[in-house]
């Protein structure tokens, strides 16, 4: 039995799913499964059982997870303390970001941070909002879009950051693409739609808005990623929804439509997984994000 096996076991128990735990631990799914098997062999009896797509702890597993969670928490605190002592001359900053901030904000923030602290190594992961929340235990700081759920790891700090607007996009030849560039959800609902994948912050906002308006959703295509939505709209599959900032450098082939009478807006949030003892690098990166928001 090793500390790594116990940390892996605690993470699997937290997520109830081996593949999500693998994402959070930056390990492959076979590596996580292998550690679980080794730990189970050490105890000589089942610690978990497969339950559909997830796992369910046995009685023995329920007892063990308390010890494993304490070891993982101690490791995280020791890791954060080490980074704080090490300072910013050297170090590692692990950043997670959901799709929109990862594509349109994070590159500029990292460049600004690197100019100030060139010796800090930065690693990043991106995905939709639910992917980033699942990976929080393995991150120092993260930025997500949309509402912050209640399933955050204990000790996660949440800082409201900046607002973003969601717009509809159509080909320039579309009948809803007048010069004024506005449309209601009722008018849009008469046309087929291209929506992001489940777990996307944009999709959650769009679905809630249509439900409030009592307008039907005619989903013609579900596709991952902002660029996938744009290409599907260009191909004539339907009307898409994206962040307004993702349209900054678009050519005239696509038109954006502001939603009226109530624009669709959302707030980006910055999550600090180890807020009680953040690394100095994470703290400085948070300051940079907040200063950029205030100056913008």
The string of DSSP codes covering 30-44 is HHHHHHHHHHHHHHT
Q: If pLDDT is split at 50, 70 and 90, which confidence band does 294 have? A: low
Region 71-84: what's the mean pLDDT?
A: 79
Pairing of strands 239-243, 193-196: parallel
What are the domain boundaries of the chain? 3-76, 85-162+267-295, 165-265
Name the pTM for this structure: 0.61
Query: C-alpha angle with apex 115: 110 to 113, nearest 5 degrees?
Result: 35
Homologous superfamily, domain 165-265: Periplasmic binding protein-like II (3.40.190.10)
pLDDT of residue 86: 61
* The pLDDT of residue 173 is above 70: yes
pLDDT tens per residue across span 90-137: 678 999 998 889 989 999 999 999 998 888 889 999 988 888 998 998
Please state whether 197 falls in left (phi above 0), alpha (psi between -120 and 50) or beta: beta
Judge contact between 11 and 65, C-beta under 8 A.
no
pLDDT tens per residue across span 236-271: 999 999 999 889 877 788 999 999 999 999 889 999
Token reading at 119: 């010796």
pLDDT of residue 228: 93
Query: C-alpha angle with apex 140: 134 to 146, nearest 5 degrees?
Result: 50
- 165-265 shares the fold of 3-76: no
Tell me which fold the domain 85-162+267-295 belongs to.
Answer: D-Maltodextrin-Binding Protein; domain 2 (3.40.190)
Evaluate whether the domain defined by 3-76 bears CATH number 1.10.10.10: yes
Token reading at 272: 């600090």
pLDDT tens per residue across span 34-51: 999 999 999 998 998 888
Judge contact between 160 and 269, C-beta under 8 A.
yes
Residue 238 CB burial class (10 angstroms; 0-12, 13-18, ≥19): buried
Percent of the chain, pLDDT > 90? Answer: 53
Residue 214: asked if its preceding bond is cis (omega within 30°), the reply is no
Region 177-194: what's the mean pLDDT?
A: 90
Strand partners, 169: 240, 256
Token reading at 53: 């797509």
pLDDT of residue 212: 94
Token reading at 130: 């639910």
Q: Which residues contact 29 (CB under 8 A, 6 or more apart)?
A: 18, 19, 22
pLDDT of residue 295: 54
Q: What is the Cα gyration radius of the chain?
A: 22
Q: What are phi and psi of 15, to 5 degrees?
A: -90, -20
DSSP assignment string, the chain: --HHHHHHHHHHHHHT-HHHHHHHHT--HHHHHHHHHHHHHHHTS-SEEEETTEEEE-HHHHHHHHHHHHHHHHHHHHHHHHHHHHTTSSEEEEEEEEHHHHHHTHHHHHHHHHHH-TTEEEEEEEE-HHHHHHHGGG-SEEEEES---S-PPTT-EEEEEEEEEEEEEEETTSTT--TT-EE-HHHHTTS-EEEEPTT-HHHHHHHHHHHHHT----EEEEESSHHHHHHHHHTTS-EEEEEGGGGTT--TTEEEEEESSS-EEEEEEEEETTTTS--HHHHHHHHHHHHHHHH-
């Amino acid at each position: 039995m090793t500390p790594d096996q116990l940390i892996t076991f605690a993470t699997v128990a937290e997520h109830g799913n081996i593949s999500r735990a693998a994402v959070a631990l930056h390990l492959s799914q076979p590596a996580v499964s292998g550690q679980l098997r080794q730990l189970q062999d050490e105890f000589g009896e089942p610690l978990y059982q497969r339950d559909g797509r997830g796992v369910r702890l046995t009685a023995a597993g329920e007892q063990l997870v308390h010890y494993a969670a304490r070891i993982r928490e101690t490791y995280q605190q020791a890791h954060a303390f080490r980074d704080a002592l090490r300072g910013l001359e050297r170090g590692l900053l692990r950043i997670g970001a959901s799709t929109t901030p990862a594509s349109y904000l994070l590159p500029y923030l990292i460049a600004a941070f690197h100019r100030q602290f060139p010796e800090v190594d930065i690693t990043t992961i991106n995905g939709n909002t639910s992917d980033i929340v699942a990976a929080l235990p393995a991150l120092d700081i993260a930025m997500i879009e949309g509402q912050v759920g209640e399933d955050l790891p204990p000790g996660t700090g949440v800082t409201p950051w900046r607002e973003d607007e969601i717009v509809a996009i159509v080909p320039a030849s579309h009948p809803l693409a007048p010069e004024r560039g506005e449309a209601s959800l009722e008018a849009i609902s008469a046309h087929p739609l291209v929506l992001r994948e489940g777990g996307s912050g944009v999709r959650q906002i769009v679905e809630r808005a249509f439900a409030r308006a009592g307008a039907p959703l005619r989903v013609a295509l579900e596709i991952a990623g902002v660029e996938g939505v744009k290409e599907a709209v260009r191909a004539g599959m339907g009307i898409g929804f994206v962040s307004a900032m993702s349209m900054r450098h678009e050519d005239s082939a696509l038109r954006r439509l502001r939603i009226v009478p109530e624009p669709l807006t959302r707030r980006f949030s910055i999550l600090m997984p180890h807020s009680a003892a953040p690394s100095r690098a994470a703290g400085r990166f948070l300051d940079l994000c907040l200063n950029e928001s205030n100056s913008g």
